[in-house]
Structure 1
């Protein structure tokens, strides 16, 4: 996809995936004091929001694995989980596959209008696929920064 928005989105996703590859599953589930979520939740949440904004709102086929909404939708948190979540490696595989789907499925549809236009909970209005992907750059980067912060806190607890 030769589009700056799509290229940047792929870059942010690949950076996040590479960063978490060395984290073990148990560390990904640590919730530092004062926080509500862990690294695993942030990654799963990135996946769920990407499905909504990159595929569902664009009128494309989605891939929501079983229970992903229950675990990772906005407002959810690991303290509410009552069934075993996916492993970190399963989430990493899904995140990798997802960005490849974005690149292959949406590369020729960036200027396509979405109907109806989507108004976010903060009042932002999206009218085409490119606008949805541009928002995802922000969303991915915000959660990547949160993941890095959580990892830093975990590392300081181990010292």
Structure 2
């Protein structure tokens, strides 16, 4: 089962990266009517939340800057951004590196109980499935935004 989970991470991340590839700054910054955020935010949000779920960011992971919580965490929005915001290209590179770290997680860890349940989920494997669901949701948002932009 764990092999399928890691294959799904790879497939989902590949599709996610394909969706954002080749978009210019104007396209990733455009927020279509009816959407709460833009492609740039969605990209950083997926990176940040996956790091939270899979690596314990920011307490247990230092692979991303601490500012990502304020930029891309739940309830944030690009209209509130100040200071240095990483480009989508930088975020894409971090998404690739993150996938490599996810693939290094020993499959035996997926059965380990979390210190406390998150969203009613009790193991890292269950949280990994939630992470995949979350990423595919935002992949769909980006796909829809791209259709409205072009």
The TM-score, its normalising length taken from structure 1, stands at 0.85
Q: What is the correspondence of 1:7-156 to structure 2 with a 5 Å cutoff? A: 7-56=7-56, 60-118=60-118, 120=119, 125-155=120-150
How far the C-alpha of 1:36 sits from its partner, in A, is 2.1
The TM-score, its normalising length taken from structure 2, stands at 0.90
Distance in structure 1 (CA, Å) of the matches to 2:115 and 2:124:
10
Structure 1 gaps, min length 5: none
How far the C-alpha of 1:24 sits from its partner, in A, is 1.5
Distance in structure 2 (CA, Å) of the matches to 1:25 and 1:66:
24
Distance in structure 2 (CA, Å) of the matches to 1:41 and 1:50:
14
**1:9 and 1:134 in contact (8 A); partners too:** no
How far the C-alpha of 1:26 sits from its partner, in A, is 2.6
Structure 2 gaps, min length 5: none
**1:6 and 1:133 in contact (8 A); partners too:** no
- Equivalent pairs, count: 149
How far the C-alpha of 1:60 sits from its partner, in A, is 5.0
How far the C-alpha of 1:64 sits from its partner, in A, is 2.6
**1:36 and 1:77 in contact (8 A); partners too:** yes
RMSD: 1.9
1:97-148 superposed Cα distances (whole Å, 9 cap, x missing partner): 0011011134441111111222x2xxxx111111011111110100000001
